[in-house]
Structure 1
Amino acid sequence: MPNRLAHETSPYLLQHADNPVDWWPWSPAAFAEARRRDVPVFLSVGYSSCHWCHVLAHESFEDEATAAFMNEHFVSVKVDREERPDIDAVYMEAVQAATGQGGWPMSVFMTPDGEPFYFGTYFPPAPRHGMPSFRQVLEGVRAAWQDRREEVGEVAQRIVRDLSERSLAVDTTRPPGPDDLHAALMGLTRDFDASRGGFGGAPKFPPSMTLEFLLRHHARTGSQGALEMAAATCEAMARGGIYDQLGGGFCRYSVDATWTVPHFEKMLYDNALLCRAYAHLWRATGSELARRVALETADFLVRELRTGEGGFASALDADSDDGSGHHREGAYYVWTPQQLTEALGEEDAALAAEHFGVTEEGTFEEGASVLRLPDTEQLVDAGRLASVRQRLLDARARRPRPGRDDKIVAAWNGLTIAALAETGAYFDRPDLVEAATDAADLLVRVHMDWNGRLARTSLAGTAGRNAGVLEDYADVAEGFLALAAVTGEGVWTEFAGLLLDTVLTHFAAADGTFHDTADDAESLIRRPQDPTDNAAPSGWTAAAGALLTYAAVTGTAAHREAAEKALGVVRTLAGRAPRFISWGLAVAEALLDGPREVAVVGPPDDPATRELHRTALLSTAPGLVVAAGEPDADEVPLLAGRPLLNGRPAAYVCRNFTCDAPTADPKVLEGLLRRP
């Protein structure tokens, strides 16, 4: 019989609806039940494409004896971290503080008041490598709860007290300056892997926000070192196994330092951020590889993750059926020489093996290889190679596909809207701009109310019950502003303003910092407030970026002042942890550059207007803001009071609404935007 999760909409929770564990969703009722029964709460947090979450579920949550023990001695609560990032953040902070590490699945034991007292991540079904079994953990916690209750309570209270005292001192009175950004660049240079690209050692995560900072820093200062680090990292990832050489798109991370073997889950946020980063690299350098990867990643997003409602699904699983009824990580993506021969015949299989680095020994498990492009000098007939790739892609399509998490996360769709809108504009792909517009329409129709409040998720066109967090408001506003710049449709700027007003009203603290949850959100043991960028921009730095862009379009001093105060955290972290404040660094580059504002006025169907508009969009000026529309358009303040130039379409280049003389010449405009 299904448990309570059968009534949820989260694909991750629904995966556990048939477990013999008597799961509860996170709710006041679950904690009330724990108080009534006088038992601890076991909190399990994961997400649908998490490999080790599936392993723990199969080994322990599907085991009848383990489930019976859990049901007798605990109230067990399941949380999808992608639906409730606030819960995940609060308890992950406790896990990391207590153990020095974190990850998913996250396993937390707590009192009926939500106070944690014992933590972990994955526990095996039997003791292994010094790690207790999950059953041993359960029995130990039960014994402590029954026999040492006072000690457990003291530990829980101390943990909550320690968490409440943890805070980052931020001076919001002064935004970062050139010296702070130079210190960040030096820190990144020390961490840079000059031989293999990327930063640090294994595991290696795609540094999408760091790439954005490096490209903007190069544009502002002319630093060749910054550009070389960005270009080398992008090339190494694009040639590695972390990139899907057949279907496009990036996996979550590489388990090694050479980008060879990935963890095969594909996340929406990674691919949106990387699509945009490669498009921006092409804009800066004209790199054909960057162009190809940006377009292939955009096509992957639309082909593999777009839902019937027009939004974008959250992820593809790492695991899939290997054809024999067993689920294995990477089964959909890896190849043996024999599989190449079966798909291509011997002659083309030999070519594919050499071109993609497939060997008899393999680079993955059981003699299979992850496809790479290891030979940068190899000359291959382009038509023949294209045929080989297509036939391999067709053969792969006949394999059992990885599962897809179909829920729409507002923040990640905002990032995707920005990426597709800009990529479509750069490469004359109106279909990508249309896909971005459809996703934006869905967010307005389903996720957003007329008070400027957002639902975090939706599924099949129905909004979920969880409130949006700061990153949702900030990233959706970022997406809307990028879409407005590309399409010239001012309504997207208006929607962004509505969301950013909510940010200032419900998420901003009196000192100019930001909280991750609204002031009227559910109260947890701590109100999360994390400025650091991780897999995606933090809500804090994303809000700073969107506020700065909106202020540049509208001239509103309150939004610019809020952005400048929020960027105080960049000065705090730039020198000591630049990789974890990279989006903040990128926003700071825009602030130091102005950001520059371009108003393009003229009939939208006039080729001269379109050429000026495209010239503006292709500028590398950090955080450049573009508004396009009819002359003297009062609904977009940046366009107001900007007439045609002698009856011809014109472009005005401004900073803080103070403009140079207008020009009708795209070459002159290009020069103005290139000027430091």
Structure 2
Amino acid sequence: MQISNKPNSLINESSPYLLQHSYNLVNWYPWCNEALKKAEKENKPIFLSIGYSSCHWCHVMEKESFNNEEVANILNENFISIKVDREEHPEIDKFYQNVHIVFNNRSGGWPLSIFMTYDLKPFFAATYIPLEKKSVRYTFPEILRAISNQYNSDKSKLTKLGDEILKYVNLLYKIENKVKIDVNVIDFFLKQTEENYDIVYGGFSSAPKFPQTSLLDTLIYIYDKTKLNKPLKMVENTLKNMSMGGFYDLVDGGFCRYSTDNIWFVPHFEKMGYDNALLSQIYLDTYQITKNELYLEIALKTIEFMIKKMQKNGLFYSSSDADTDGIEGKYYTYEYDEILKIFKNYNIDPKALSVTKEGNFKGRNILRLSSDSDRRELVPLLNELKNLRKERKYPFIDEKIITSINSMMIKSLFKAAKINEKYYILAKDCLKSLLSFLYMDGILYHCGVYNKEIKIRSFLEDYAYLVDALIEAYQFTQEEEYLKLAIKFTRDANNFFDDFWYFSMGEFKTIADVFDESYPSSASLMIMNNIKLNNYVSGEFSDVIERSIKNYSGKISKYPQYTALAVKCILEWNLQNKNILKGREL
């Protein structure tokens, strides 16, 4: 791997992810008019690479290809290369993830690799592309040469393909046939959820397993309103298995992005702010219902991880890396010999934490409770292992401060304050800090970095999660100022609605959907916010609620598991209108 002595155009950006690529051999540009005009002037295709700083495979592709002289020469001579931070520009990422879906008939991921004409007509889409032949037919250099040759010999063919792809991308946003949808959607939702439920290890898919917080939240809601036992059992089994270790960090607290296996053992080690905020809420809500101390312990340990590792001056950072010094999971895993003495000192069998001489992850050990382990007996030992980590280099932290993620954490703090009052002042201070940092001169911004210019305005998700946090703050404190702000921001956000919800309204206009993705749909959350606030504004939001539910009804009725928050919206709206579910009041 080589590194350039001369920086590229990313050197002037504020995004930590873009700055990581500022000394690549590839001559990167940020997403800007300069890059688009240069592609048009030089009649070159665009290579668009989208990722984020804590993404393991993004680092792999950078190391293999973006600092490889052969690849860099091909890109620099034949393409205009644009690098985008998906956390900074989620609107661009959302659009091109849909391009990937159309091109490959399956969802994408990161790094996302898009090739398109200078007038933004995409004709090839992939995720990680290896430098050398592995399990794929073509290497990255071979693909680059083939695209360059095709573009130079028959650009019109690629343009025509790009037009076709865009046509099908637009169809993804089409409003499906409207159907009558009411509380009976609960039956299909539960049926679909149970069909995908792992009765042994919890979760609602095979590997890779994601936490699917929106689905868990709706199951909790259904149990709370109907007292049906099955939804709560599915939630509890999932929460217990997720907390066994691996996916959940038994030492520092906090959850990793997802599990690569079915049992929540081997994770992708990056820790996302949104996962930890949302999962802490799920564990707190489940504790409130069951009074099982385990859920409270996991929730508070996760919140403390976010406070200690991912926060400064009341503002939370977006994510921490999976890798340390280029080695996946190095900070989180242990060599057998380095920890054997600690186990002997406490007279505990290493197998109690799944530790073996051979290791369970690339020769090292991920800590995971065995089925008969006693968590409380292991606390002193885990504290020793935490001390051992203090000597290690912590993974890179992306210090972007994002409105939506901070709002999620603020809601978690207010929920925690119901149980421990020490989080009350912190929740209020964090909310004040967020508004001071990213709400200026009547404009809400999406993200910023300390001591850098703040310029990217808010998207629908920022309004949605900020209003959600403000509603939680008002419900806990009964302070009118929070209610007034929630109503004000909801009115602002409702400008994003016109038969369906737009995710962004700026230069790159994209549509929001009701499908829950890495975190719950911003469109669905805005519907819920409107529902919760409607009585405070004398029914002013009724039209937006009714039209939203009606226009998304086709998708919700077909795919309730994947639109879980929207299902919850329908149930809550029916509750407010006093509808009945099969003789049981919601």
Report the counterpart of residue 489 of structure 2 in structure 1: 499
1:311 counterpart residue number: 315
Residues 53-452 of structure 1: matches in 2 within 5 Å?
53-101=58-106, 102-170=108-176, 176-307=181-312, 309-321=313-325, 327-342=326-341, 344=342, 346-348=344-346, 351=348, 353-366=350-363, 368-376=364-372, 378-379=373-374, 382=376, 385-425=378-418, 427-430=419-422, 432-451=423-442
User: What code does the residue aligned with 1:316 have?
Assistant: S
Deviations 1:253-279 (A, max 9, x none): 000011111111100000111000000
> Does 1:522 find its partner at 2:475?
no
Q: Give the whole-Å Cα distance in 2 for the aligned partners of 1:24 and 1:549.
A: 43
Q: Is the 8 A contact 1:204 1:259 kept in 2?
A: yes
Superposition deviation, residue 29 in structure 1: 1.2
Moved more, 21-30 or 487-496: 487-496
CA RMSD of aligned residues (A): 2.1
For the 8 Å contact 1:241–1:262, the answer to whether it is kept is yes
SS at match of 1:19: coil
Partner secondary structure for residue 88 of structure 2: coil
The equivalent residue for 2:571 is 589
2:523 and 2:511 map into 1 onto residues whose CA distance is 11
Distance 1:398 1:24 in 2: 37
CA distance in 2, matches of 1:21, 1:284: 53
Relative distance call for 1:178 and 1:81 in structure 2 (3 A) is same
Equivalent of 1:546 in 529, 546, 555: 529
Q: Which residue does 1:454 correspond to in 2?
A: 444
Equivalent residues of 1:446, 1:462 under 8 A apart = no
CA distance in 2, matches of 1:418, 1:257: 30
Encode CA deviations 1:595-642: one digit per residue, 9 max, x unaligned: 99xxxxxxxxxxxxxxxxxxxxxxxxxxxxxxxxxxxxxxxxxxxxxx
Q: Is the 8 Å Cα contact of residues 187 and 575 (structure 1) preserved in structure 2? A: no
Greater alpha carbon shift after TM alignment, 293-302 vs 64-73: 64-73
Could you give the per-residue CA deviations for residues 51-86 of structure 1, whole angstroms, max 9, x where no partner exists? 011011111111233212211111111100111111
CA deviations on 1:552-601 (whole Å, 9 max, x unpaired) are 4x1431224323432346643445423311122233333233399xxxxx
Task: Using the TM superposition, give the Cα deviation of residue 345 of structure 1 relative to its aligned residue in structure 2, in angstroms.
Answer: 5.7
Over 3 Å counting, the alpha-carbon distance change for 1:578 and 1:362 in structure 2 is farther
Would the aligned equivalents of 2:213 and 2:520 in 1 still touch at CA under 8 Å? Answer: no
1:532 is paired with a residue whose SS is coil
User: Where does the alignment leave 5 or more consecutive residues of structure 1 unmatched?
Assistant: 322-326, 597-673
Which residue number corresponds to residue 655 of structure 1? none
Secondary structure, counterpart of 1:78 in structure 2: strand
Q: 2:365 is matched by which residue type in structure 1? A: S
Partner of 1:614: none
Between the aligned partners of 2:554 and 2:576, the Cα distance in structure 1 is 21
Unaligned runs of 5+ in 2: 1-5, 579-583
For residues 524 and 261 of structure 2, the distance between their equivalents in structure 1, rounded to whole angstroms, comes to 29
Q: CA deviation at 1:457?
A: 0.6
**Equivalent residues of 2:173, 2:513 under 8 A apart:** no
Greater Cα offset, 352-361 or 394-403: 352-361
Amino acid at match of 1:441: K
Q: Deviations over 1:210-247 (max 9, x none)?
A: 11111110111111011111111111101142101111
Q: Contact 1:91–1:108 at 8 Å: present in 2 too?
A: yes
Paired letter, 1:74: F
Q: Tell me, in whole angstroms, the C-alpha distance in 2 between the residues paired with 1:475 and 1:107.
A: 29
Displacement of 1:168 in angstroms is 3.9
Q: TM-score, normalised by structure 1?
A: 0.81
2:581 maps to what in 1?
none
- Give 1:189 shift: 0.9
Distance change (3 Å), C-alpha of 1:550 and 1:595: farther
Letter in 1 for 2:55: C
Q: Across the two proteins, how many residue pairs are aligned to each other?
A: 575
Partner Cα distance (1:48, 1:130) in 2:
25
Name the aligned partner's letter for residue 17 of structure 2. Y
C-alpha distance in 2 between matches for 1:57 and 1:75? 17
Q: Aligned-pair distance for 1:352?
A: 6.0
Displacement of 1:114 after TM fit?
Answer: 1.1
Give the 3-state SS of the residue equivalent to 1:117 in structure 2: strand
User: In structure 1, how many angstroms separate the alpha carbons of the residues matched to 2:112 and 2:287?
Assistant: 39
Any idea what the Cα deviations from partners look like across 1:463-507, whole Å, max 9, x if unmatched?
A: 6322211111101110111112222222122222221111112x1
Q: Name which of 494, 497, 506 aligns with 1:508.
A: 497
CA distance in structure 2 between the aligned counterparts of 1:515 and 1:181, rounded to whole angstroms: 27
The offset of 1:436, in angstroms, is 2.5
Percent identity over the alignment? 30
**Secondary structure, counterpart of 2:501 in structure 1:** coil
Change (3 A) 1:118 1:410: same
Distance 1:276 1:165 in 2: 35
Work out the CA distance in 1 between the residues paired with 2:434 and 2:165.
38
Q: CA deviation at 1:173?
A: 8.6
Q: Which aligned pairs between 1:535-614 and structure 2 lie closer than 5 A?
A: 535-552=518-535, 554-568=536-550, 571-594=553-576
